[in-house]
Amino acid sequence: MARVTLPLHEIDHLPEEILTLAPRDIRKVFSEPTLIRLEGKTGQPLFVSCLLHGNETTGFLVLQRLTRWFRKHPLPRPLMIFVGNVHATEAERRRLDQQPDFNRIWNGGDTPEHDLANRVIEKIAAAKPFAAIDIHNNTGINPLYGCVNRLDEPFLHLGSLFSPTLVYFENPPSVISISLSKYCPSITIEAGKPADPLGVERAFNLVLDTLHLHHLRQAGVERPLTVFKTIGRMEIDPNSTFSFSPTSDAALVFPADMDHWNFSTRKANTHWAKLNQEPNSPLRVFDENRDDVTDRFFRIQDHTLQLRRDVTPSMITLNSGIIRSDCLGYLMEPVSQTQSA
């Protein structure tokens, strides 16, 4: 059987038609995943990726704002933009059922989507990018924050342009920011919930600010930063049931407002969930090596799941579809408090 090759369209402009479209209409201008190359005055290109998750639409709104801005302003440096999962965007979904997650295909694999990712990375690497920004949204209650995969100063400087709160993570290794960190400073930004006006504004300003930078700082950042490290990823056994309703008889019952816990320290002995089945919990925690480290964080006592230690959760979501296809959220600890230079 012949190998399936997904199309990658390449264009040299941002279509004006995008200004009149809603995200679900994106395939009227980008019928397939598209790599856009825009000429700038001088220097290495900035790379921006958006819509790797089809229902995270802040990146689309940033493209609209860039299109308006380009009408009156020349680009100070070249810009490359990858518009990712347009089929899922059309369906207003994170991904389609038959697809892998478009932000889990950047570390090798044997699907047509992995092949597409390899071709995109080759083209970006050949352009010798100045920096890379991957625009995302989330579904829980989180502040606007950036994610870095290295703690080198240029990465921290780039992240600081978006938010004083950064998260350092190494897992999963298949995200685009980790792949691109081999070639240039790269970050993922979590711009709040889709279409959050503040998230759109900050994401747009980040792209403009980075386009105008002459260099990224090699030592010291200009503003105080709070940096967390992800130390665990929470997943639920796919054969188990869970709920956020206190009257549920599901195997695992979480607090109804659990997504409000994000980026706030939860102390040891905190009640995390009610267990309607014992002796085992269907909630597991994995580290960056995919080792099961659940017992470092949780214990079972009196039909409840309790914290063993202080942690700071992030990206906890109440969306059951995302929990099933990805994870419940992450556990973090502070890395450092950096002071302004």
Q: Does a structural domain hold residue 335?
A: no
- Residues 216 and 244 occupy one common structural domain: no
- Looking at the structure, tell me whether residues 218 and 296 fall in a common domain: no
| 147 and 84 share one domain | yes
The CATH number given to whatever domain includes residue 83 is: 3.40.630.10
Task: Tell me: do 193 and 241 sit in the same domain.
Answer: no
Residue 334 lies in a domain: no
Is there a single domain that holds both residue 73 and residue 115?
A: yes
Q: Which of 184, 173, 159, 182 is nearest to 43 (CA)?
A: 184
pLDDT for 339: 38
Helical H segments across the chain, by residue range:
58-70, 86-90, 112-126, 153-160, 176-180, 197-212, 294-297, 320-325
Does the model's pTM come out above 0.85? yes
Of 198, 223, 248, the last residue of a domain is 223
Q: Are 208 and 253 in the same domain?
A: no
Q: Does residue 153 share a domain with residue 238?
A: no
Instruction: Give pLDDT, residue 341.
Output: 35
In a domain, 54, yes or no: yes
- State whether 194 and 106 are in the same domain: yes
Domain boundary among 171, 203, 223: 223
**For residue range 190-208, what is the model confidence (pLDDT) as tens digits?**
999 998 999 999 999 999 9
Please check whether residue 208 lies inside any domain of the structure: yes
Q: Average pLDDT, whole number, for the chain? A: 93
User: Would 207 be classed as within a structural domain?
Assistant: yes
Residue 60 lies in a domain: yes
pLDDT tens per residue, range 121-173 = 999 999 999 999 999 999 889 999 999 999 999 999 999 999 999 999 988 89
Mean predicted confidence (pLDDT) in 243-252: 93
307 plus 169 within the same structural domain = no
63-79, pLDDT tens digit by residue? 999 999 999 999 999 99
Within a domain: 2: no
| CB-based contact 154:213 (threshold 8 Å) | no
* In a shared domain, residues 304 and 175: no
Instruction: Please check the confidence at residue 5 and state whether its pLDDT lies above 90.
Output: no
**How many structural domains is the chain composed of?**
2
Instruction: Please state which of the ranges 5-9, 220-224, 288-292 shows the lowest mean pLDDT.
Output: 220-224
Amino acid at residue number 276? N
| 98 and 48 in a common domain | yes
Instruction: Identify the band that residue 336 occupies on the pLDDT scale cut at 50, 70 and 90.
Output: low
| Residue 269 CB partners (closer than 8 Å, separation 6+) | 306, 307
Whole domain around residue 175: which residue ranges? 9-223
Question: Final residue of a domain: which of 170, 198, 223?
Answer: 223
Q: Residue 332: inside a domain, yes or no? A: no
Judged against a pLDDT cut of 70, whether residue 31 lies above it is answered with: yes
Q: What is the pLDDT of residue 3?
A: 62
Distance CA(310)–CA(296), nearest Å, equals 11
Q: Do residues 211 and 161 share a domain? A: yes
CA distances from 157 to 60, 62, 129, 235 (A): 25, 21, 16, 32
Tens of pLDDT, residue by residue over 93-122, are: 999 999 999 999 999 999 999 999 999 999
Q: Which residues of 61-87 are buried (b: 16+ CB within 10 A; e: fewer)?
A: bbbbbbbeeeeeeebbbbbbbbbbbbb
Residue 340 has pLDDT above 50, yes or no: no
